[in-house]
Amino acid sequence: MRNDYGILRFDSPKEATMDYSKVEHLIGVDSPRHPPHDVVSDTDVDHWCQYMQDTNPIYTDEEYAKTTEHKGLLAPSAMVHVFCLGSLRPCLEQFVEGKFQYPTDPNNQVNVIIEEEGYTGVMATAQTQQHFKSIKVGDEVFWTLQMAKFSTYDHLSRQGVGRKYTMLYQFYNQHDELLCKQSFDVLVYRPPMVTRRLYAG
């Protein structure tokens, strides 16, 4: 049904679209609360600040930070998600081999299904954060996650035919205080055949 350039003809049969009922039961269900992978450390905050070119002394100048109401170094609030991300090898296993560190989390079950359905392209499209409390160096950031919304039909995006979903994160410190609520929008898409042929070799 394809011409020499791998382009689908207009009269080609439609690629079967994903049935929403496959994921419906997983939407809106919270994951268990997970422990952080890294403690909030002065060195990780320093890495971030060097990269971002952030000179705010509340993040890197301990002597200054002690004189403030916080009595010590803070981490930039935008870093809240960083300490929860896992280490290199499990992350590569997740993205390359589809093996999840928390395979029973509802959002990860959804991810397995959409990969099987051919939505192999992934792109974050939006992020919102509401910060309720400052993160201190030495804090431990615990988190829960749920897949809150998932499109029931295909969208036509610049990247290809795809679905959109929204994940909601809640971050807590070791005293069970809510640090941040975060939403994270993702587009998953089936890369068009032309792109797949160009780059997949």
Partner 1 sequence: MDLSKMKELVGQESSSTTLRHNISISDVRHWCEVIKEDDRNYKEFGDSVTTAPNAMLMAWTMPPLWSAQPRPPTEPHELVIEELESAGYKVGLGIALEQKFLLPVNIGDRLSYTVTLAGLSSAEVETSLGAGYRIDLDYTFTNQDGNVVSQQKYTVAQMKSIQLQH
Partner 2 sequence: MDQAAQNVYWDDVEIKQDLPEKNRKIDTTTIAMGATWATHDFMPVHHDRDFAQSKGAPDVFMNILTSNGLISTYLEQWAGPGARIKEISIKLSVPNFPNDNMAMNARITRKWEEGGEHLIELGFAGDNQMGPHAAGTAIMSLPKKG
Binding stretches for partner 1 (CB under 8 A): 35-39, 41-44, 46-47, 50-51, 53, 55, 86-90
Q: What residues numbered 77-96 form the site for partner 2, per CB under 8 A? A: 77-79, 81-83, 85, 88, 91-92, 95-96
- Min separation Cβ 44 and partner 1, Å: 5
Cβ atoms of 83 and 34 closer than 8 Å: no
**Is 134 an interacting residue with respect to partner 2 (CB under 8 A)?**
yes
Dihedral angle at the C-alpha atoms of 94, 102, 184, 126, nearest 10 degrees?
A: 0
**Is 178 an interacting residue with respect to partner 2 (CB under 8 A)?**
no
Radius of gyration of the chain measured on its C-alpha atoms? 21
- Min separation Cβ 127 and partner 2, Å: 5
- Among partner 2, partner 1, none, partner that 109 touches (CB below 5 to 8 angstroms by kind): none
For partner 1, the closer of residues 25 and 66 by Cβ is 66
For partner 2, the closer of residues 29 and 58 by Cβ is 58
